[in-house]
Amino acid sequence: MIRIKDLCKSFENNNVLKNLNLEINDGEIVVILGKSGSGKSVLLKHIIGLLKPNSGSVFVDEHDMGKLCGRAYFKVLKSFGMIFQGGALFDSLSVGENIAFYLVEHKLCGGKFFPKSGIKKAVKDALKSVGLEGTEDLYPSSLSGGMKKRASIARSVIYQPKYTLYDEPTTGLDPVTAMTIGNLILEQHKRLNGTTVVVSHDIYTTINIADRIALLENGIIQVIDSPKKFMSNDNQTIRSFNKIIGGNIDNIVFNDRKI
């Protein structure tokens, strides 16, 4: 479980997060929705411990991420998979080497020892799970934007993290590819049986993958609810999202999810 309590973060005179509170339950998909520059990625980096708060706390399984350091921090960090907005693949490594990177470096999968002899098969299975079979010997420069996103997902889920974090996974993608990535997030969530946190400003993908949607605005979580109840809220920003989808949430559901 992730518990965020009274989280504050400022950069010089810019107050980004202002006493923000949020709880993310085990096993759910929470999408943190907001406009560009609202602090979504900053919040995500606090959850994984890449940023330290000015005040307040982020607890992951009762570990205070802001106070962890050294071995204690890296022990908790191993329970996370992070998919960065740009993919963050290593250009000098092949796709297969990128996917295998964590297993080679840490020899862990699901928190347990993983033998070197099993890495090749694990890489093939991970690539198959994201629809990239046979790309092991390619390099990131030869992949399309959507393929890079899928490869970065494979690299993060191969070691079976408990928490999977996505930073704007559909940014820069055409609608059809964005839909594919949304479906892939759902598939990997079910396969890992873990907890998924997504930050996004893509209302279509958000509605289709979220168990709950949280609106981050003015430094706090203004609204958090199931997709249908969220979109029924009278918040001005949510009304704007409703205009984007034409005001009928049922028209854009393609995953047969109960909303």
- pLDDT given at position 254: 47
Domain segments of the chain as ranges: 1-79+164-259, 90-161
- Distance in angstroms (rounded) separating the CA atoms of residues 99 and 93: 9
φ and ψ at 124, to 5 degrees?
A: -60, -45
- pLDDT given at position 243: 86
Q: Whole-model pTM?
A: 0.90
Q: Which residues of the chain have pLDDT under 70?
A: 247-259
Q: Which CATH number applies to 1-79+164-259? A: 3.40.50.300
- pLDDT given at position 247: 67
- pLDDT given at position 166: 95
- pLDDT given at position 248: 66
Is 117 exposed, middle or buried, given 0-12, 13-18 or 19+ CB atoms closer than 10 A?
exposed
DSSP 54-120: SEEEEEETTEETTT--HHHHHHHHTTEEEE-TT----TTS-HHHHHHHHHHHH-EETTEE--GGGHH
